[in-house]
Amino acid sequence: MHIDIWSDVVCPWCYIGKRRFEIALDGIQVPGGATVVHRSFQLDPSRPLGQTQNRRQMLMTKYRFSAEQVEAMDARMEQLGAADGLEYHLRPEGVTGNTRQAHELVHLGRTRGIGDAVLERFFKAYFAEGRSVFDPESLVSLAQEAGLDPAASRQALDEGTYTAAVAAEGDQARHLGANGVPFFVVDSRFGVSGAQSIEVFRNTLERAATAAMPEARGA
């Protein structure tokens, strides 16, 4: 079974969706095992690289929310995260920005077989620890904690090794009909949009596993 997952490292629902999906996958039998590939999707690729903005202010402007509404939304997200075993600290001073370079290092991690570990480290750093996923040196340090060689990370960022790949994967998701993330595609056939329940993920994975059986294909 092959699963592609599109997400952005500053998307709180992506972190929750990733965890719910993992729980669902762990709970079923997949003949031959499963391969999971984390793919890039920037919620706002137009943001200037290297510049940040207050995250709550961005949400207030984008959705025309009041400060009280954003505060309540963050509190609710922290509760939802805790219910799925995730730690969220959505501080008023938290920032957002262009995530392209974070995605580039996830790509580098994929070539080393640790793409999931790099993405997981970025999620935890951003949502639980308040660390930057926009500053190159912070990204290199976090990626090192996940197992990437810092010299290789700096070279990839300096040379833009995976810049085109990040854009291409975002285009691919949109071509498949994704307007947001998380977005899951199983065996290029079964899609799940959003941080659905563990049951929804489990049902989709079971359908995919059944469809992949020889008798289901008429073999």
Q: What is the pLDDT of residues 94-110, one digit of tens each?
A: 999 999 999 999 999 99
Flag whether pLDDT at 35 surpasses 70.
yes
Residue 192: name the closest of 208, 214, 216, 170 by CA: 208
Q: What is the pLDDT of residues 138-161, one digit of tens each?
A: 999 999 999 999 999 999 999 999
Give the three-class secondary structure for 197.
Answer: coil
- Helix locations, 54-161, DSSP H: 55-63, 67-83, 100-111, 115-127, 136-145, 150-159
- What DSSP element (H or E) covers 183? strand 183-186
Alpha-carbon dihedral sign for residues 16, 17, 21, 22 = negative
**Single pTM value for the model:** 0.95
Q: What is the pLDDT of residues 199-214, one digit of tens each?
A: 999 999 999 999 987 6
Compute the distance between CA of residue 44 and CA of residue 173 in angstroms, rounded to an integer: 14
State the burial class of residue 138 (Cβ atoms within 10 Å of its Cβ: 0-12, 13-18, 19+). Answer: middle
Q: Which fold does the domain 2-211 belong to in CATH? A: Glutaredoxin (3.40.30)
Structural domain spans, the chain:
2-211
Q: How many CB atoms lie within 10 A of CB 121?
A: 27
Interval 19-23 mean pLDDT = 98
